[in-house]
Amino acid sequence: MASDHTRSAILAAAERLYADRGFGDVTLRDIVAEANVNLAAVNYHFGSKDELIAELFVTRSIATNRERLRELKAAEEQGGGRAPIEVILRALVGPTLRGCLGPENQRSTAARFMIRASIESVPPIRRIKNREIDHLRKFAGAMRRSLPDRSDIDIHWGLNFALAMAHHTIRESERLTKLSEGKCDLDDVEDVVARVVSVATMALTSGKAEAKAPSRLAAR
Amino acid sequence: MASDHTRSAILAAAERLYADRGFGDVTLRDIVAEANVNLAAVNYHFGSKDELIAELFVTRSIATNRERLRELKAAEEQGGGRAPIEVILRALVGPTLRGCLGPENQRSTAARFMIRASIESVPPIRRIKNREIDHLRKFAGAMRRSLPDRSDIDIHWGLNFALAMAHHTIRESERLTKLSEGKCDLDDVEDVVARVVSVATMALTSGKAEAKAPSRLAAR
DNA sequence: TTGCATTTAAAACACTTGTATGAAACTATC
DNA sequence: GATAGTTTCATACAAGTGTTTTAAATGCAA
C-alpha cells in the first residue's frame, strides 16, 4: 500500500456524496468520478460497495462509542463505581448529539453523513448497528448501579427514551426547526443535551423510588 | 373499473411483501408474482411504483391521523377549548403506538408495513411525511392552549420528545426487547402509551411553570 | 536492470430494474 | 350482437447497476 492516495480519495468522496444526496442515489460511478479514480478501484480496495459504506460508518461510530465509554468510565471512577444518573445519560447522548448537531458540525461532512446514516438505514449500516447492543448494555449496567432501587424494566425504558430523544432530534432536526419556526435552537448543542438529559433523568427518577434523593436536574 | 380485483390484489401483495422484506429488495416482479397479476398491471393501475407505495402509506396514515384528530377534538370540546396536556399527548401518540405495537398488531400486515415505513424512509413516503407538519401544528396549538404559561420553545421540545419516544419505540421495538431480555413488555400497548405520555408530560410541566397545578401523571 | 508484487486502467459482463408497447380478451352499452 | 371502452397479457426496451476480467503501469527490492 504505497500511498493510500486512491483509497482515501474514495473514502472522502463517498462520504461527501452520501452526506449530500443520501445512499439511495449515489452510485459507484458517481463516487469514482468525484474522487477522480477508476471504477474498479472501489472493488479492489474495499471488496464491495457495502464494505465501503460499512467502513465509513464504522470509522465514525467507533469514535463516538469510544468517547461515550471514556466519559462513562471517568464518571464511574470518580464516583467510586457509581455515577450520578445525569452524568451517565450525558455520556450516553452527549457525544452523539455533539457529533451531529451544532453550527459547524451541521455543515461538516462527517456529521451530515452520520445524520444520513441515521435516517436511511441501509443494510450494511443496519448490520453494524445490531452489534451495538453490547455497548448499550454497559450503559444499562451503569444506570442500574446508579439507581439500584429502580427495576430493570424502568432502567431499560429510560435508556430507550434517552436514545429516542437524542436520535429523533438528530434525525428530524430539520422538521423541528421548521415546526417551531426557528424558535428551537439546534445550534446550541449543549442546550439540547441538557434538555434530553433532564427529561430522561425525570423519566428514570420520578414515581416509585423518588423518595430518598430527588436528583438535581441537569443544568438548563 | 369492473371489479377492482387486480388493483386490490396488488395493494395487498405489495403491503405484505414490503412488511416482510422492506422496500429495499422487493421489486415489481415480486409483487405481481405474489398477486398473480401481470407486470404491466402495476403501471396501468397506479402509474408508477412510487405511486403505489405512496397510496399504501397514505391509506394507513390518514387513518391514524384522523383518529388522532378525533381524540384531540373530543378532548378539547369536553374541556371547553382546553384539554389536559396528558390527554393531548395521548391523542398524539396513542393511535400511532396502538397501530404498530400490540400482540396482534405486531403480526398484522398493516402494522408491520408502517414499522417498515418508519424505518426505511423511502422517497415517496418521505414526501408524504413532509406534508405532516400542518397536522402537527394543530397539536402544538392545543398544547399551547393547555399550557399557556409555557414558552413556544418548550412546547415544541415537548412535542418533539413525545414523538421521539413513540416513533423510536416502534422502530427499535425489537432491539428494546432484546436489550431488556424480554422484560420490557411491548405487547401491553396501553402501558407503553402511559409511559410515553407520562414522561412527555413531565418534560412539559417540570421546572418554570410548574407551580400552579402539578398535573396528575398519566396512569401507570 | 531485472524480477515481482502492488496498484491502476479500460472495457465488458451479467443482471436487474421500472416502464412502454401493442395486441388480445373482456365488459357493458346501444 | 356489433361497438367502444376498459382491462389484461406477453414481451420488448432502455438504462443503470455492482462486479469481473485482463492487461498495462507503477513502485520497490535484489
Amino acid identity, position B127? R
pLDDT at A115 over 80: yes
Nearest CA distance, B3 vs chain A (angstrom): 37
Q: Which has more confidence, A4 or B18?
A: B18
State the pLDDT at residue A103. 84
**Tell me: the pLDDT tens digits for A137-192?**
999 999 999 999 999 999 999 999 999 999 999 999 999 999 999 999 999 999 99
**Tell me: the pLDDT tens digits for A189-218?**
999 999 999 999 999 999 764 333 334 444
Question: Taking Cα atoms as reference points, which of A100, A93, A111, A113 lies closest to residue A18?
Answer: A113
From the candidate CATH numbers 3.30.565.10, 1.10.357.10, 2.30.30.100, 3.30.420.40, the one assigned to the domain spanning A56-210: 1.10.357.10
Task: State the cell numbers at A219.
Answer: 443544568
Beta carbons of B99 and B219 less than 8 angstroms apart: no
Write down the mean pLDDT value for chain A.
Answer: 92
Q: Where are the alpha helices (DSSP H) in B79-132?
A: 85-100, 109-120, 123-130
Question: Taking Cα atoms as reference points, which of B186, B204, B195, B197 lies closest to residue B149?
Answer: B204
pLDDT range class, residue A3, cuts 50, 70, 90: low
Write down the mean pLDDT value for chain B.
Answer: 92
Q: List, chain by chain, residues whose CB lies under 7 Å from nucleic acid strand C.
A: A 1-3, 5-7, 37-41, 44-45; B 2, 25, 27-29, 39-40, 42-43, 48-50
Beta carbons of A201 and B197 less than 8 angstroms apart: no
Cβ-defined contact of B199 to A203 (cutoff 8 Å): yes
Judge residue A175's burial from the number of C-beta atoms within 10 Å of its C-beta, 0-12 exposed, 13-18 middle, 19 or more buried: middle
pLDDT range class, residue B41, cuts 50, 70, 90: very high
Q: What is the distance between the alpha carbons of residues A176 and A195, in angstroms, rounded to a whole number?
A: 14
Q: What is the distance between the alpha carbons of residues A130 and B180, in angstroms, rounded to a whole number?
A: 14
Rounded to whole angstroms, what are the CA distances from B154 to A59, A176, A180, B168, B209? 35, 12, 10, 21, 11
Nearest CA distance, B124 vs chain A (angstrom): 12
Q: What is the distance between the alpha carbons of residues B177 and B185, in angstroms, rounded to a whole number?
A: 8
Domain spans in chain B, listed from the N-terminal domain onward: 1-47, 60-210
Determine the distance between B192 (CA) and C23 (C1') in angstroms.
57
* Domain spanning B1-47: CATH superfamily: Homeodomain-like (1.10.10.60)
**Tell me: the pLDDT tens digits for B131-159?**
999 999 999 999 999 999 999 999 999 99
Q: What is the distance between the alpha carbons of residues A70 and A94, in angstroms, rounded to a whole number?
A: 12
**What is the CATH number assigned to the segment(s) B60-210?**
1.10.357.10
Beta carbons of B123 and B50 less than 8 angstroms apart: yes
Chain B residue with minimal CA distance to A135?
Answer: B179
Chain A residue with minimal CA distance to B139?
Answer: A179
Amino acid identity, position A194? A
In this complex, the answer to whether residue A25 has its CB under 7 A from any atom of chain D, a nucleic strand, is yes
User: Between B119, B133, B176, which is nearest A160 by CB?
Assistant: B176
